[in-house]
Structure 1
Amino acid sequence: MADDLNLVKSSTFDDVTIRSSEQANDQNPSSEFSIDEETLIIRMWSLIAGRIPGRSAEEIEKYWIAKHSATSTTTTTDN
């Protein structure tokens, strides 16, 4: 946990997001989320927002959707 906090302190949020995305893509680049996984993600927005002071679940969700859409569009057009 302390290592995770040090990583966040030494990196920008976008850097962490990019690394996480790259790691996920390296592990299984063509995987789809199951219905159970999607349900869990939807249910966890408020918990995620609770970990980021000053952000609501809706703000976090909108941010994620915007970033995910931009990444998907870029990835699709690059191939």
Structure 2
Amino acid sequence: MSDSKHVTTTNNAQYVSDMKREAVLEFSPEEEDIVAKMFRLVGKRWHLIAGRIPGRTAEEIEKFWTSKGSSSKVN
């Protein structure tokens, strides 16, 4: 019985850790540049932009773009 409680506590801690990691999306200056350039070329086709940045998902790209208010960079 105590084992199942431990597993639940461990899973909750992992969930909270994952949420914190997702809340802070850190992109390198090179990645930011790629996102901005690709956005100018293809718009909100996040999957195409993510395809240019190894290890990034379309969801991460979109969250990063909207969190930065980056639409103001597009001119």
How does the TM-score come out when normalised to structure 2?
0.38
How does the TM-score come out when normalised to structure 1?
0.36
